[in-house]
């Protein structure tokens, strides 16, 4: 099934509106429907799937063809029954709490230590991710990761307190802009706004017990003309790699 979808986003970081789009021929993954997968794909720059916990990315790698001027703000993770059997047989996109973000970093650096076969080398990264104040952590991780890379590339890691991801409906002009940037696709682009809107009211007991609440949908215009969906995280992060070679 050919699927082409797009969302219009703003993370409030002064960079304005960004389109996130993909166009792929999909078969339903085992865990989710085509529509669920489309939502996960459109939000994949903000909510990352971890390969050891879900088959979403390994089964259908997300394709993002529009270039970005900077790394998107990561708002959270894909979570499912693979992460914890207490979760229902579905997929949720959960924003980071401070604790969840720190845990994500620790897992990432533990995996790095396994890959390079030197767990002691990443111990300072793990210790910092567990205990260092958030307003100091970004600079420390950036400098340490750049040093570990031997000066071949610069790693820039930033953390953001209470970032907001705002999603709005596309206009006709937006679709024209998308066509100019994306080129020919096998199926017409659809606005993913309503697919996301349908899911923001879903309750997940696994997340409710951890203090999470659904994203906020607001119909400001009353007729769909000024709708917004807003995700708010306790913390978010961005990670950028700049080649120095």
Which pTM was predicted?
0.82
Contact partners, residue 2, CB within 8 Å, separation at least 6: 23, 24, 25, 26, 185, 186, 187
Q: How far out from the chain centre does Cα 62 lie?
A: 11
pLDDT in tens, 140-173: 999 999 998 887 888 999 999 999 999 999 988 8
| Helix or strand holding residue 6 (H, E) | strand 2-10
pLDDT in tens, 171-227: 888 888 777 766 666 678 889 999 999 988 778 887 888 888 888 898 876 666 678
Q: How far out from the chain centre does Cα 214 lie?
A: 16
Round to whole Å and give the CA distance between 188 and 33: 20
8 A C-beta contact, residue 174 and residue 189: no
């Amino acid at each position: 099934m050919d699927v082409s979808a797009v969302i219009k986003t703003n993370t409030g970081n002064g960079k304005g509106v960004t389109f996130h789009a993909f166009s792929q021929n999909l078969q339903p993954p085992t865990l989710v429907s085509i529509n669920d997968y489309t939502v996960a794909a459109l939000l994949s720059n903000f909510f990352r799937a971890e390969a050891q916990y879900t088959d979403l990315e390994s089964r259908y790698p997300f394709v993002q063809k529009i270039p970005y001027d900077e790394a998107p703000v990561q708002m959270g993770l894909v979570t499912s029954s693979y992460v914890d059997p207490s979760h229902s047989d579905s997929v949720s996109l959960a924003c980071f709490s401070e604790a969840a973000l720190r845990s994500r970093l620790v897992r990432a650096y533990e995996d790095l230590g396994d890959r390079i076969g030197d767990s002691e080398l990443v111990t300072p990264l793990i210790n910092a991710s567990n205990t260092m104040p958030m307003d100091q952590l970004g600079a420390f991780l950036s400098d340490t990761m750049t040093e570990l890379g031997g000066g071949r590339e610069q790693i820039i890691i930033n953390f953001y307190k209470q970032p907001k991801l705002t999603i709005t409906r596309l206009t006709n002009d937006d679709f024209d802009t998308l066509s100019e940037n994306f080129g020919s696709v096998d199926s017409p682009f659809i606005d993913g706004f309503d697919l996301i809107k349908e899911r923001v009211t879903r309750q997940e007991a696994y997340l409710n017990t951890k203090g999470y609440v659904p994203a906020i949908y607001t119909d400001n215009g009353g007729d769909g003309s000024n709708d917004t969906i807003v995700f708010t995280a306790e913390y978010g992060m961005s990670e950028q790699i700049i080649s120095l070679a």
